[in-house]
Amino acid sequence: MRTIVITGGTDGIGRALADVHLHRGDAVLIVGQSAEKGERFLDSARELGAGDRAHFVRADLSLIGENIRLFEEVARVLPTVDVLVLGARYHRSVRTETPEGLESNFALFYLSRFLLSHGLAPSLERAATPIVLNVAGPGGTSPIQWDDLQLRRHYVGTGALGHGGRLNDLLGAGFAAVHPDSRIRYILFHPGVVSTSFSGEYDQATAAQVAGLKVTGKTVAQSIGQILPCLDRPPAERLSAFTEGRRIDVDTPYFDRDEAARLHEITEKLLRV
Ligand SMILES: NC(=O)c1ccc[n+]([C@@H]2O[C@H](COP(=O)([O-])OP(=O)(O)OC[C@H]3O[C@@H](n4cnc5c(N)ncnc54)[C@H](OP(=O)(O)O)[C@@H]3O)[C@@H](O)[C@H]2O)c1
């Protein structure tokens, strides 16, 4: 039995992964904002006779304090974490700041993943083959806005997700340097277009595009079929990346270790304020 923690586990790809692992006999803890969706997961687990293996934590992961509460809660209820799946995201067409004054996409899509990757490392280290699966967008080539990481000057919702994907690539690239003796395998995974709820707040033009993507995108089941091999047979390397199940090269400037160290330093400084 493995123990899987899944952010964004209340919906879409995350929820489907939660169901697969529950059926396999694993312990699954999902995280999301919706109490109703969380209860639906717990109900389905009870129907399966797996209520004791299913957990739901309601948290707004765009808030730093909520991430800290989550990894403290996980450490309290789960002795070991075998797999951490990072899959929470929320699109906003209009730039919005959290009550902590951070751009919301930066806070949820990047900073939460930074906090959870590093914060849950001690729980992961106790597992036989620990894995972090960061479901984001490796392979993106948009430049990092080093002097404007929270996109104050020029914000476009889809661009913010692309930018967040690049920050996650550097998070993965820098993870090994921060945990030099770790056995954790950090996997970056781009699922391609998948027909999910695409949670978010969209302007009219983007809403029309998203409606089209829901029609043309692959099914969640197809996407899970591409993700599961990475969790069942993770690459031996400490960092790997995939696009729709195909391995991509991480020995490129987009995963540059010096840039990763630079981002790590900036992020730590931001968290100290
Ligand atoms: N679908 C695609 O085409 C696509 C393409 C590229 C990459 N991806 C990546 O794949 C992952 C999963 O995407 P998806 O399409 O399956 O997602 P989705 O169906 O839109 O679901 C988003 C999930 O994020 C959670 N979430 C949103 N805001 C949150 C917050 N503030 N705090 C905590 N949880 C929050 C939602 O939980 P609640 O509803 O309970 O709040 C939900 O479980 C994401 O990382 C995404 O970037 C997806």
Is the CB–ligand 1 distance for residue 136 below 6 Å?
A: yes
Q: Whose CA is nearest to atom 41 of ligand 1?
A: 33
- Quick one: which H or E segment has residue 45? helix 35-47
Is the CB–ligand 1 distance for residue 139 below 6 Å?
A: no
| Average of per-residue pLDDT across 196-202 | 97
Mutate to test the pocket of ligand 1, among 6, 30, 89 (most ligand atoms within 8 A of CB): 89
Confidence of residue 16 (pLDDT cuts 50, 70, 90): very high
Expressed in angstroms and rounded, the spacing between residue 266 Cα and the centre of ligand 1 is 25
| Average of per-residue pLDDT across 70-91 | 95
Confidence of residue 148 (pLDDT cuts 50, 70, 90): very high
Is the CB–ligand 1 distance for residue 104 below 6 Å?
A: no
Provide the pLDDT for residue 273.
Answer: 75
> How far, in whole angstroms, is CA 199 from its chain's centroid?
14
CATH class of 3-272: alpha beta
pLDDT over 80 at 168, yes or no:
yes
Q: What are the residue ranges spanned by the domains of the chain?
A: 3-272
Inter-residue contact 16 to 43 (CB < 8 Å): no
| Average of per-residue pLDDT across 199-227 | 97
Provide the pLDDT for residue 139.
Answer: 86
- pLDDT over 70 percentage in the chain: 100
Tell me if residue 48 falls in helix, strand or coil. coil
| Average of per-residue pLDDT across 217-225 | 98
Expressed in angstroms and rounded, the spacing between residue 11 Cα and the centre of ligand 1 is 7
Expressed in angstroms and rounded, the spacing between residue 224 Cα and the centre of ligand 1 is 14
| Average of per-residue pLDDT across 44-62 | 97
Is the CB–ligand 1 distance for residue 37 below 6 Å?
A: yes
Taking all residues of the chain, what is their mean pLDDT, rounded to a whole number? Answer: 96
For residue 236, give every residue at least 6 positions away whose Cβ sits within 8 Å of its Cβ, in sequence order, or none: 185
Expressed in angstroms and rounded, the spacing between residue 13 Cα and the centre of ligand 1 is 8
